[in-house]
Amino acid sequence: MDAETTRNRTSPAPQSRPALGWHDLREWLALVEKIGELKRIAAPVDPIEEIGAVTLLATRDYTSPALMFDNLEGDTTGSHILTNMLGSSKERYALAVGLDPSLSTRQMIDATRS
């Protein structure tokens, strides 16, 4: 037997993961918005000069939300830019990995490790 086969045979069976409450980024954003963790920026912004600066200033506060820039100067495609997706938010992290957002930080760490 080669090393790969041996490693696969001795590896424990993967544990079942909790079901995610979303199937794509739009659904995840809807959940994040529902819990008040998404700030939509409707004002026109320069994607090269301003988005990074706005995100930097917003993230100085550890409770800063995810930021969705909806009006990009010069854009003709209808694109949006999402920044600070997870930031320091345990709630956004929990939603991203399928955990209950009401868990304590300790419980999330334990659930993530398992």
CA nearest to 90, candidates 114, 60, 69, 112: 112
Cβ neighbours for 74, distance < 8 A, ≥ 6 positions apart: 46, 47
**pLDDT above 50: residue 13:** no
- Single pTM value for the model: 0.74
pLDDT tens for each residue of 47-100: 999 999 999 999 999 899 999 999 999 999 999 999 999 988 999 999 988 899
Please check whether residue 7 is in contact with residue 34, taking contact to mean a CB–CB distance below 8 angstroms.
no
**pLDDT above 50: residue 105:** yes
Residue ranges per structural domain of the chain: 22-87
